[in-house]
Amino acid sequence: QVQLVESGGGLVQPGGSLRLSCAASGSIFSITRMGWYRQPPGKQREFVATLTSSGAYRTYADSVKDRFTISRDNAKNTLFLQMNSLKPEDTAVYYCKAKMGPLESWGQGTQVTVSS
C-alpha cells in the first residue's frame, strides 16, 4: 500500500506560479508511475501530467503543456508539479496518483485557486 500527501496549493493571481508536492510513503518500491490530476469546480477529474518511476518519460495534457513541469526527488520520495503562467481555468483541486501495476493510490487533494 502507498500513502500520498499533497501540499503547496493556495491562492495565486493570474500569471503567477505555484509548486505542488506529493510525499509518498509505504510500499514505494512497487510504484511504476506517478501523476497529477485535477478536478475543476463542477467538472470531472482530468489528467494533468504523468511521470514514469525512472523519470525517463513525461506526458502532459495539452492545456498545461509548456506551463507545467512534473518532476520527482527519489531520495525524498516526493513528486512535484511546478505550475507557471497560471490561468483562472487552472483553478481546481489537484490530486496526486501512484500506479502499482493494476493498483493505484490517490492523495487527498490540494486546492489551487487562480484569481485576481
The answer to whether the CB of 78 falls within 8 A of the CB of 105 is no
Q: Which residues pair with 61 in a beta bridge?
A: none
Q: Is the pLDDT of residue 42 over 90?
A: yes
Predicted local confidence at residue 30, as pLDDT: 87
pLDDT confidence bin for 54, thresholds 50/70/90 = confident
**What is the full DSSP assignment across 50-96?**
EEETTS--EEE-TTTTTTEEEEEEGGGTEEEEEE-S--GGG-EEEEE
Looking up cell 492545456 gives 63
φ, ψ for residue 76 (rounded to 5)? -105, 5
Summarize pLDDT for 56-101 with one digit per residue, the tens.
899 999 999 999 999 999 888 999 999 999 999 999 999 999 999 8
pLDDT confidence bin for 102, thresholds 50/70/90 = very high
Q: Is the pLDDT of residue 55 over 90?
A: no
Summarize pLDDT for 1-38 with one digit per residue, the tens.
899 999 999 999 999 999 999 999 998 888 889 999 99
